[in-house]
């Protein structure tokens, strides 16, 4: 009986490690670039066997990655199209919008990671893991 009581807190603490690693890899990705992908792989590999709290964090991290990739590609496409069209001065506003989208995606991604770490540190599931905003 004492063995079960001793194992449960260690298991609960261990469960927080992998989602924290995913968030850490995501934040580290701003400097390395590669760790975004590693964090995504860790989240996918552990989501199915995780408990409800960790499953919400892994789902949140996976959605954060894919939504940011989609908006990054939209921003990059606008930036490049604006660059090509800048020859006739029509592309400058398009280029500015693309750059603003890229900047907003970076801020949005970072805020989502920090919020995920906040809820994880509190021991809570992320309230809206499938949400579009924060």
Q: Which two tokens stand for residue 60?
A: 């949140």
Distance between CA atoms of 69 and 100, rounded to whole angstroms? 15
Specify if 6 maps to a domain: yes
pLDDT given for residue 33 in this prediction: 86
Specify if 63 maps to a domain: yes
pLDDT digits (tens, 9 = 90+) for 94-104: 999 999 999 99
Specify if 43 maps to a domain: yes
pLDDT digits (tens, 9 = 90+) for 11-69: 555 478 999 999 999 999 999 989 999 999 999 999 999 889 999 999 999 999 999 99
Mean pLDDT of the chain: 89
Q: Cα separations (Å) of 27 from 9, 38, 67, 68, 74?
A: 27, 12, 16, 13, 21
Specify if 131 maps to a domain: no
pLDDT given for residue 10 in this prediction: 46
Residue 8 pLDDT grade (very low, low, confident, very high; cuts 50, 70, 90):
very low
Tally of domains within the chain: 1
Return the biggest CA–CA distance within the chain. 77
In the chain, pLDDT over 70 holds for what percent of residues? 90
Distance between CA atoms of 131 and 123, rounded to whole angstroms? 20
């Amino acid at each position: 009986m004492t063995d079960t009581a001793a194992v449960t807190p260690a298991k609960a603490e261990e469960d927080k490690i992998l989602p924290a690693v995913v968030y850490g890899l995501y934040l580290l990705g701003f400097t390395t670039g590669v760790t975004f992908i590693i964090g995504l792989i860790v989240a996918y590999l552990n989501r199915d066997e995780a408990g409800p709290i960790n499953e919400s964090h892994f789902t949140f991290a996976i959605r954060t990655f894919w939504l940011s990739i989609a908006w990054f590609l939209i921003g990059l496409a606008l930036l490049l199209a604006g660059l090509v069209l800048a020859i006739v001065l029509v592309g400058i506003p398009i280029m500015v919008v693309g750059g603003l989208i890229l900047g907003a995606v970076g801020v949005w991604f970072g805020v989502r990671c920090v919020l995920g770490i906040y809820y994880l540190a509190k021991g809570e599931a992320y309230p809206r893991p499938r949400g579009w905003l924060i």
